[in-house]
Amino acid sequence: MAVNEREKAVLDWLAGRKDAMVSLLEAIVNIDSGSYNKAGVDEVGKVIQAHLKDHDIPVEVMPDDTYGDCFTGTVAAETPGANRHILLMGHRDTVFPDGTVAERPFRVDGDLAYGPGVADMKGGLVLNTFVLEAFKACGGAPAPLVGLYTSDEEIASPSSRPVIEGQARNAMAVFNSEPGRASGNLVVARSGACFFEFEVTGIPAHSGSRHQDGASAIEELARKIQKLHALTDYDAGLTVNVGLIRGGNSVNTVAPWARAEVDLRCRDMAVMDAALPKVDAVLAETGLKGTTTRKTRERRFLPLSQDDAAKGLFEKYRGVAGELGWKVGGERTGGSADSGFTAAVGAPTVCATGPVGGKGHSPDEYLELDTLVPRAQAMALTIMRLQA
């Protein structure tokens, strides 16, 4: 299908914006914005908001007292009256601690950019921002186009989830700009996740002279870790990992307390619904007399699966990419993302529409700069073809 005059204008506008994209990317990568660093996450937001406002795109901020604020930038439809919108989504937080930018700031080596969060997912934020600006510069979008910039995805979106779900309801399409896979593919399925913490309370005693009077919280924790790990079932698509443990007061004291943080991943909601009662049963059972256990925190990501509407959206994107001269497929990943929340409220969703990158959450995280413009063009052209 040949591009029409309107489509060509948007594609041509984006074609000349690589340097500007890289400039914005550098500015936001060079801000520490770990999930719990509200000031840093909000500073990334201020840079993007200023960019949007410079292009006459109105911004609405949704304040949060604990985590970074969420905000939207909206481009109106070129023809008034559309009652469904298109949602572009991305998170501003990273997994990296304060001080990481000073240690390894944004840098470019050939086609690759490096720096904390450069792919996951500040590159996607840049892409979404320029797609919004392209439509604004070219007279509006085919339907109201909303860019949602969230703040705490790396910790399962405790404050952003209701905002995401509210924005996704009644959306005709959602593009979540997590990084494109190293293969160039989009993500069409993601595992769900449950992150939880639990605490064991024991009875302290001198570990030499009164050992028999104590009840070790660490021993009870160890018993529970074995049972939790035993729930892993690769064939069913379920993994359980106790990733962090702490406990005890001193080497010569029977431990009065112990805590653990757990990552449970599941292929789909049926697996999650079957696994969580088993987890609760492990925590409820007391193996060592004198100890008690309680769950102290729980956060969840919902699985992403592809229904007929999402499959149609993916096929539309794949066809557009082919027209632009490159191939894209769809793949499953064990990582979780906010796209599970949008799919769960019924919004057709594709994920990993950001520029291609890899090695996320590591010092070697990278972004392929030459994919910024083509992936922005593919998203924009898909948006213009949604009703075709």
Alpha carbon distance 26, 207 (integer Å): 55
Alpha carbon distance 73, 84 (integer Å): 16
- Per the residue annotation, which of 7, 42, 153, 220 is the catalytic one? 153
**How large is the angle between the packed helices 269-284 and 217-229, nearest 10 degrees?**
150
Q: How many CB atoms lie within 10 A of CB 260?
A: 22
Looking up tokens 């698509």 gives 237
**Whether residue 219 lies in the annotated active site:** no
Alpha carbon distance 326, 239 (integer Å): 35
Q: What angle do CA 203, 205, 207 make, to 5 degrees?
A: 125
Give percent helix, percent strand, percent coil of the chain, each to the nearest 5: 40, 25, 35
**Whether residue 93 lies in the annotated active site:** yes
DSSP 118: I
Task: Please check whether residue 150 is in contact with residue 76, taking contact to mean a CB–CB distance below 8 angstroms.
Answer: no
- Per the residue annotation, which of 93, 178, 220, 368 is the catalytic one? 93
Q: How many CB atoms lie within 10 A of CB 138?
A: 20
DSSP 211: G
Query: Smallest Cα–Cα separation from 62: which of 151, 158, 146?
Result: 151
Alpha carbon distance 161, 178 (integer Å): 16
CA atoms 35, 98, 64, 51: torsion sign: negative
Active site residues: 93, 153
